[in-house]
Structure 1
Amino acid sequence: MAQKLILIIDDDNRNIFALKAVLKAKGFGCLSATSAREGFAIMEENENVAVVLMDMMMPDMDGYQAIATMKKSDKMQNIPVLAVTAQAMVGDRERCLSAGASGYVSKPINVDELLLQIEEVTNKK
């Protein structure tokens, strides 16, 4: 079976670089996109994406719009999304989850928490 991949969608390459370094060290395969549309193209082409780490604050299309778009797509609707955001105010977690995210991790990212959530959403399948 092919390795399950994690798709990181973030408009900041430094965040992508840091997340990839951590996840690859833990044995995950990673793909990345700097926009939601680029991420959609990757998911259309690659059936091994197990989970998406979605930055919620991006220009163009933000994470909320991107999750809504994914939920309407036959190919992407079952891929769990973990919202990754610097917004850690009261209600932000709920807003992300009600938008369709499977989990929520605030920046700066607690790696143990992130790994726990990846484990949870990928084992639900």
Structure 2
Amino acid sequence: MMNKKILIVDDDPRNIFALKLTLKSRGYQIQSCTMAQVAIEILQENTIDIVLMDMMMPEMDGYEAIRMIRNTPSISQVPVIAVTAQAMPEDRQKCLDVGAQDYVSKPIDVDQLIAAIEKIS
């Protein structure tokens, strides 16, 4: 199940850069953007297998973005993994409640992230 397309949404380009390198080296195809609104447009125009969504972003945060994805029929089925620096149990639940499939806290543990990605596929 290689060559999965992953969309990384994070307002910090350094996070995107690091994740891109890590995931590309494992054979994933990566698209990225720094704004949730752009992410939704990308999802509507491309086939994306998994979204890695940063939950803390200016303008539209990850919670609102996941809600929008879930409420948009053409993209509502796309799996989303929430990525957040908020690592409290209630934060995890909050992410799952809005419709994330899984949750990974920052700083990202690569093995945990890959396991979350593989679990979805």
Length-normalised TM-score, structure 1: 0.93
Aligned partner of 2:88 in structure 1 is: 89
1:115, 1:90 → 2: CA distance? 21
Aligned partner of 1:32 in structure 2 is: 32
Cα-Cα RMSD: 1.2
Please report how far the alpha carbon of residue 121 of structure 1 lies from its aligned counterpart in structure 2 after TM superposition. 1.1
Which residue identity lines up with residue 78 of structure 2 in the other structure? I
1:41, 1:102 → 2: CA distance? 20
> SS state of the match for residue 105, structure 1?
strand
Aligned partner of 2:18 in structure 1 is: 18
Aligned partner of 1:101 in structure 2 is: 100
Q: Return 5+ residue gaps in structure 1 as ranges.
A: none
Aligned partner of 2:44 in structure 1 is: 44
Identity between Structure 1 and Structure 2 (%):
53
Length-normalised TM-score, structure 2: 0.96
Please report how far the alpha carbon of residue 89 of structure 1 lies from its aligned counterpart in structure 2 after TM superposition. 1.8
Which residue identity lines up with residue 72 of structure 1 in the other structure? N
What is the number of residues matched between the two proteins?
120
Please report how far the alpha carbon of residue 75 of structure 1 lies from its aligned counterpart in structure 2 after TM superposition. 1.6
